[in-house]
Chain A
Amino acid sequence: MITERHNLACRMISKAISKTGSLGSYIVSKDIGSDEQMTIQNLQISETAESRIVLNWLFPPCFPDKDRFTSSRPDFVLVTPITAKTQKQQIDVGGWVLRSGGGN
């Protein structure tokens, strides 16, 4: 029941982002329960959201597939074009790779 609560909440959020949010088309993977349940809830399975695991093109080229399957799975992964904010940070820092922890 607890998993069902989580999956339903995820689907509500997914639906809001996909249908009304500006970043809906940038969802590349979702781990929010079975496709059947999504269909029952009248949710469209996004064409871009191919997989439940994080897609291989997001990992370094030499990253082993086995580790990719065992790595943590966020509920959604979005890949968006770089924003002006990130570009500014890159110029300020002078490097390409920045890691930021949002949500706090």
Chain B
Amino acid sequence: MGSSKWRGQLRETGSTSAAPPATSRATNPIQHRPQDLSKPRRDIHLVEIKYCADTRPQNQLNAAKEQHKDLCNILQGASVTLHIILLGVGGTIYNTHTLKPFKDLGLDFQRVKKLASKLLVHSVNFAAKLVHTRHALSSTIINSHQELVSGQACNPRS
């Protein structure tokens, strides 16, 4: 993507939109219990978090939409919005698929930045863990195979 750029430690793709904070969007400042809101007076937000291949977020985006398509049509409210939050397995943070949903969910810029940094570290740590585990598993298999082969070589009749 042409507009891809590095900003600090975060890899970002797409464009940033300046959405107003969610607090300013509520029409009624009085705090309601969610279950007390009547059907036409409530907005339903579904949040789905998915890990995706860093350079191919579209597959998981489509999968999440398909997964909750029926639920979005069934639920009763003034509107039903599906917020899909995508995180790259290698630590990619997307402008449109990670940061924008956070803003839509009422987090301010500083919190979004802090959370994105935490998630980046979390993803990278788990990527390293997964690589080490796979490596350990494959070397265990190779070692046991080698032991088996050498055992047969020492005692070919057994």
- Total A-B Cβ pairs within 8 A: 189
Residues A71 and B77 in contact in the complex (CB < 8 Å), given A13-B115, A76-B47: no
Can you name the residue of chain A whose Cβ is closest to the Cβ of B50? A6
The binding surface of chain A is classed by DSSP as mixed
Contact with B along A1-31 (1 / 0, CB 8 A): 1101110111011001100111111101000
Q: Is the CB of A102 within 8 A of B74?
A: no
| In the assembled complex, A41 has its CB within 8 A of some CB on chain B | no
Give the CA-CA distance A18 to B44 in the complex, in Å: 17
Interface size class of B (residues with CB under 8 A): 35 or more
B81 A74 Cβ-Cβ under 8 A: no
Q: Which size class do A's interface residues fall under?
A: 35 or more
Cβ of A63 within 8 Å of any chain B Cβ, yes or no, is: yes
Interface bits B98-129 vs A (CB < 8 Å: 1, else 0): 00011011111001001100110011001001
Chain B residue at smallest Cβ distance from A63: B74
CB of B119 within 8 A of CB of A86, answer no
Known: A12-B119, A83-B25. 19 other contacts (CB 8 A): A1-B129, A5-B123, A9-B49, A16-B107, A16-B115, A17-B107, A23-B22, A24-B106, A48-B34, A60-B74, A71-B71, A72-B71, A78-B34, A78-B47, A81-B27, A99-B80, A100-B80, A103-B97, A104-B65
